[in-house]
Amino acid sequence: MHSEDDRPKAGSKRSVANDLAGKQQEISVTEFFEKNKHILGFDSRAKALLIGIKEAVDNSLDACEEAGVLPDLFISVQRSDEDEEFHIVIEDNGPGIVHAMMPNVFGRLLFGSRFHAQCQSRGQQGIGISATVMYGNITTGKPARLMSKIEEEDTAWLMDITVDTKRNRPNVTNDQPLIWPEKEHGTRIEYYIRGRYVKGKQSIFEYLKNTAIVNPHAEISYTDPDGKSYLFARATTKMPPKPKEVKPHIQGLEIGDMMSLARDTKQKTVKSFLKNDFSRISDRVANDILELSGISEKVKPSSLGRNEARRLISAVDNVKIMAPPTDCLSPIGEELIKKGLKHVLEGNRPEYYAPPVTRAPRVANGNPFVIEAGIVYGGELPRDGQVSILRFANRVPLLYQQGACAITKAVEAIDWRNYGLEQRGGKGIPYGPAIIMVHIASTKVPFTSEGKEAVANLEEVHKEVALALRLCARSLKSHLNKKERKKKTRAKFDVVQQILPEIAQKSAGMLQRPVPSLDATITKIMNVVWIEPKSAVENGGLREVSYSIYNYTTAPKSFMLHSILPKSCLNETVLDHRLQEVKEDGKATWEIKDLAPSDSTEIRFQLDGELSDVFEESDIFVSGLNMAMIMGADPLPGDWGIKGMEISESDAQPEEEDEDEEQEEVLNDDY
Amino acid sequence: MTITDRQERALKELLRIAESVYDQIDEGEIPQMSLALRSKKNIEFDPRKNVWTYGDLTAHRGAKTIKGATLMLRTLHMVDFIRDMIDQQHSSTLREMYYISEGWGNGKFNSQDESNLLAEDLEIISRCMREDFKLRPEEDGARIIGDLTIVETDRKGKRKTINCRDDVGDSGYSIPFKVEKDKIEMKSCGAEFVIAIETGGMFDRLVENGFDEESNALLLHLKGQPARSTRRFMKRLNEEMGLPVLVFTDADPWSFRIFASIAYGAIKTAHISDYLATPGAEYVGITSSDILNYDLPSDKLTDQDVAALKSELKDPRFNDEFWRSEIEAMLQMGKKAEQQALAKYGLDFVTDTYLPEKLAEMGIRL
């Protein structure tokens, strides 16, 4: 970049170029980043504080999972004596780091084990944690202190590290072995950093809370600068499946990537390059590609020029190639998303968790990705204001640049008014008491920048997010419909259970006559079998579920009740004798026989165990009875797979509802 | 004081409601109450009484819906409450009853409008007046100034003779909530007509200008929509003292409704129109044509105004030539005006020019 003064004057071009050559020198990567901190996300004091912790936590979680250890994380943020300076501690129970590698991992940028791997992980570039160390060094002049122990050794190692920004090498001082009591393995990093502590949407607390949602297998404890401690307890002991390394998928590859891969390959021919360096390329597919691109299979890959590379890429578009292998991805999974959301958000008592959706893997720019989504609605979630959008990439919460993110853009493009949320003009972030959660898992998440804060708005990603959200949104809508229906039936129930008895009592009292029986009147009003679910969690997590069944009709009724129970949680010692069977997949059937008019009964069961809170008590189904005669349950779905009881009797349809029997005008005309 | 015959009848009618509900339940039916449909659709002109009353359409309130059942429970509580009040010779305001209903379980009122409406429902069902139930409205009656002498029986049972011009201050005599003969006796009257005025500002203007003495008029302040007792009082002045009733309001759709409730009977109280309405009442103004003829300052009609005017075009009470042309004219020019707009030509213009001219058109010479 030239300023006005540097501009070469006519006739002296050569000498200026020589001058410049004298000044040109290699700048180290570290130095570059020091001058461009924003690229790594250290662009404000508040953000610097958070980003440092985020990098360390990401690394810890990755390390624990790689080692197959359930993560136990401890994070502490304390104010130091100096202004705007904070003392940070992050400790994990991961596998630890070999002594010799400790300086490089924490003190050298772009040093990492994952930079070249095609594998889903949180940290990818290997910039993060060493950048944190460097940023701490620069802003406080104090080194970072590391402690790490691996299982095979008796002692842990401690050292202080600073980053030599000129050479991109770590400076180690105070290197010494020590005993780390009661720690089998793990790593602890302590550093000082200048920053600003903020609360709210982009706070450390929020980041850790969201981390807990998508990492239900982790236990995270946090002490904030005010000395307050929080514990996000582990919600499951199930580890996420380990992601595998895979070769890149050829679809969506950029021409530059193709050329550099071709240059660096060990393969001798283009055909073996295609077959062996990419995933899902069979002999036949390789032949098809080569034929379409007009390149001989014997050509040496390193001799491919720009033209050939372009022909290869356009040929790929016209060949059907299997989607990349998906076992390299580790989506959270529908059950655990719900579990994580429930675990962390239960304080807000949301009324509804839309069943989370995990989409099938797709490919964008040659990398497989999976979109997962969930919606939480109602309860004590704030009613006015926009819904909150929780964005995650490879189990890491994204807190910044919401507006630039593909996830946000997909949310904004949906007309949420169709799904029961408010939205101005059917565009933009909707309003209402809801949380929208979206997770993208990929071997290489397409971020907009190195700061890893927003997902690039690629068409495939956008489409998948929209599809996942629509599925969740549909569940939400049907929940809201159900709720509306319930409100109506509830009102009816109140009439017969509360108001009518009061009417009978009051009129009898006024006339000094005995209180009349209401049975016949109630039957006339209801003319249905009423099913009312109840659920209560007792101390110790035991969940007691019951269904009260009232026969408000004129004839005895027999029918079947069905539900899907989390079988592993069912307490088999207290089963109702009318329970016919519980199938392997949890499908349960009860038989209710000859329930007399105006009579009622109850079935109950207990759930105990990790998945007991996943059960939705309002998902209760009936067969063997005209559905017009049922309130409080749904008809048995067609895909249930077991044959429901045939409807043996045909009841008369209940009377038409005449809700507005009185079309009273609002009498505001006059007195 | 003994329980009067009217109250005795009211009690009996009310208890019949409870009986009917009880019997229906006892027979296994869904209990129901029926009463006249209280809407514009069910208003008919009664040529015998010269007023508008409810027609034959009935509304059924069943206990099948939560709304219907709640209303029924509420009705029973209210009936019981009224019975108590009559027994103990207490009276209570509608507002008090609204608060008392806190103890009525599922039957409590959610707003005061509900208690007012229900009180009127009971009037319809029992064919009694809410005054017979010992329920009185919160709002007080209007004020009146002019040469009228009445005898009022006060709360201590003392009879007081009051001249509504000489025995009262500048704010006039205040019409009580109950104006029946046992409370107020019309004795003598020197005035020749009643002029009923919508706004306080205009009432005070006519008082200040001495219009009552100069023109031999009784000035009556309606306070917007007149209360029941005000309307009853006007009717008695008209019938017993033979005074014409002239209504002087703003020129807007709501003022038209004030006139209709005085002259034809209000929709809400159509069951007692023959008791409240003054069929001979006449509209002085301000009319739509006054706005043009006197070139009065005016305001644009709001959306609600326009909707109200359109609704009046469908109101059977306004279905005559005068009102149709007034309403249509107002819609056409899109303007309304206040009484006080007459002040454009000076404070005396209304008494020196406008009213004399308008009254002359109606055949009253000042």
Of B22, B65, B227, the CB nearest to A508: B22
- How high is the ipTM of this complex? 0.73
Q: Note whether B39 contacts A503, CB cutoff 8 Å.
A: no
Residue-wise pLDDT for A184-231, tens only, equals 899 999 999 998 999 888 899 999 999 998 999 999 999 999 999 999
Per-residue pLDDT, A648: 44
Please tell me the least confidently modeled range out of A333-337, A579-583, A634-638.
A634-638
**What average pLDDT score do residues A374-391 get?**
91
Token pair 């989607």 is found at A323
Residue-wise pLDDT for A471-510, tens only, equals 999 999 988 988 887 787 778 888 888 899 999 999 999 9
Query: How many Cβ pairs closer than 8 A exist between chain A and B?
Result: 134
Residue-wise pLDDT for A93-136, tens only, equals 999 988 888 888 887 765 554 444 466 667 654 457 888 888 88
Strand B193-197 vs strand B217-221: parallel, antiparallel, or unpaired? parallel
Q: Would the CA dihedral through A145, A151, A156, A159 be positive or negative?
A: negative
Rounded Cα–Cα distance for residues A272 and A281 (Å): 10
CB–CB of A586/A564 below 8 Å?
A: yes
Chain B residue numbers touching A499 (CB-CB < 8 A): 63, 66, 69-70, 73, 106-107
Per-residue pLDDT, A30: 64
Q: Is A503 on the interface with B (CB under 8 A)?
A: yes
Q: Note whether B66 contacts A665, CB cutoff 8 Å.
A: no
Q: Where are the alpha helices (DSSP H) in A36-181?
A: 45-67, 102-107, 128-140
Of B64, B79, B267, the CB nearest to A669: B267
For chain A, the straight-line distance linking the first and the last C-alpha, in angstroms and rounded, comes to: 83
Coil vs helix vs strand at A76: strand
Residue of A nearest to B38 (CA): A664
Rounded Cα–Cα distance for residues A161 and A106 (Å): 8
Per-residue pLDDT, B120: 85
Residue-wise pLDDT for A228-249, tens only, equals 999 998 988 888 887 777 787 8
Of B22, B64, B267, the CB nearest to A525: B64
Per-residue pLDDT, A118: 60
Q: Note whether B228 contacts A491, CB cutoff 8 Å.
A: no
Mutation test of the interface with chain A: which of B24, B38, B70, B73, choosing the one with the most A Cβ atoms within 10 A? B73
Helix B303-313 with B321-333: angle, nearest 10 deg: 160
Of A495, A506, A663, the CB nearest to B76: A506
- Nearest-CA distance B121 → chain A (Å): 12
Per-residue pLDDT, A595: 93
CB–CB of A371/A439 below 8 Å?
A: yes
Is the per-residue pLDDT at A666 higher than 80? no
Domains annotated for chain B, with CATH where assigned, are 5-136 (1.10.10.10), 143-361 (3.40.1360.10)
Residue of A nearest to B78 (CA): A506
Q: Would the CA dihedral through B288, B290, B292, B298 be positive or negative?
A: negative
Phi/psi for A48 (5° steps) reads -60, -40
| SS3 readout for A307-346 | HHHHHHHHHHHCCCCCCCCCCCCCCCCHHHHHHHHHHHHH
- Nearest-CA distance B286 → chain A (Å): 19
What does the CA dihedral B92, B95, B97, B99 come to, rounded to 10 degrees? Answer: -130
Domains annotated for chain A, with CATH where assigned, are 29-232 (3.30.565.10), 255-317 (1.10.8.50), 334-480 (3.30.230.10), 517-640 (2.60.40.1170)
In the chain, the amino acid numbered A206 is E
CB–CB of A141/A121 below 8 Å?
A: no
Output DSSP code: residue A498. I
Tell me which residues of B are annotated as active site: 99
Chain A residue numbers touching B258 (CB-CB < 8 A): 670
Residue of B nearest to A527 (CA): B64
The tokens for A93 are 């129970």
Rounded Cα–Cα distance for residues A257 and A365 (Å): 10
Q: Note whether B25 contacts A669, CB cutoff 8 Å.
A: no
Per-residue pLDDT, A482: 82
Q: Note whether B76 contacts A520, CB cutoff 8 Å.
A: no
In the chain, the amino acid numbered B154 is D
Rounded Cα–Cα distance for residues A130 and A127 (Å): 6
Per-residue pLDDT, B66: 84
Per-residue pLDDT, A507: 92
Mean of all residue pLDDT scores within chain A: 83
Is the per-residue pLDDT at A181 higher than 70? yes
Greater model confidence, B95 or A638? B95
In the chain, the amino acid numbered A599 is D
Q: Is A671 on the interface with B (CB under 8 A)?
A: yes
CB–CB of A110/A126 below 8 Å?
A: yes
Per-residue pLDDT, A659: 42
The residues near B349 (Cβ < 8 Å, ≥ 6 apart) are B342, B343
Rounded Cα–Cα distance for residues A40 and A131 (Å): 8
Mutation test of the interface with chain B: which of A499, A500, A671, choosing the one with the most B Cβ atoms within 10 A? A671
Q: Note whether B77 contacts A506, CB cutoff 8 Å.
A: yes
CB–CB of B247/B304 below 8 Å?
A: no
Per-residue pLDDT, A481: 86
CB–CB of A561/A603 below 8 Å?
A: yes
What does the CA dihedral A302, A304, A310, A316 come to, rounded to 10 degrees? Answer: -70
Per-residue pLDDT, A28: 64
Chain B residue numbers touching A661 (CB-CB < 8 A): 59-62, 64-65, 68
**What average pLDDT score do residues A299-322 get?**
86
CB–CB of A50/A203 below 8 Å?
A: yes
- Nearest-CA distance A507 → chain B (Å): 5
What does the CA dihedral A428, A432, A433, A437 come to, rounded to 10 degrees? Answer: -10
Q: Note whether A516 contacts B22, CB cutoff 8 Å.
A: yes
Per-residue pLDDT, A548: 93
Rounded Cα–Cα distance for residues B29 and B16 (Å): 17
The tokens for A658 are 């005449």
Q: How confident is the model at residue A351 (pLDDT cuts 50, 70, 90)?
A: confident
Of A492, A494, A664, the CB nearest to B59: A664
Half-sphere exposure of A650 (CA within 13 A, CB side): 0
Q: Is A384 on the interface with B (CB under 8 A)?
A: no
- How many C-beta atoms surround the C-beta of residue A536 within 10 A? 10
Rounded Cα–Cα distance for residues A108 and A29 (Å): 10
Per-residue pLDDT, A610: 72
The tokens for A554 are 């004129």
Q: Is A513 on the interface with B (CB under 8 A)?
A: yes
The residues near A231 (Cβ < 8 Å, ≥ 6 apart) are A219, A220, A221, A222
- Cα B337 to chain centroid, rounded: 23
For chain B, the straight-line distance linking the first and the last C-alpha, in angstroms and rounded, comes to: 46
Phi/psi for B247 (5° steps) reads -110, 125
CB–CB of A103/A161 below 8 Å?
A: yes
Q: Which span out of A118-132, A243-257, A308-322 was modeled with the highest average pLDDT?
A: A308-322
- Low pLDDT (below 70) residues in chain B: 1-3, 138-140, 366
Chain A residue numbers touching B18 (CB-CB < 8 A): 506-507, 510-511
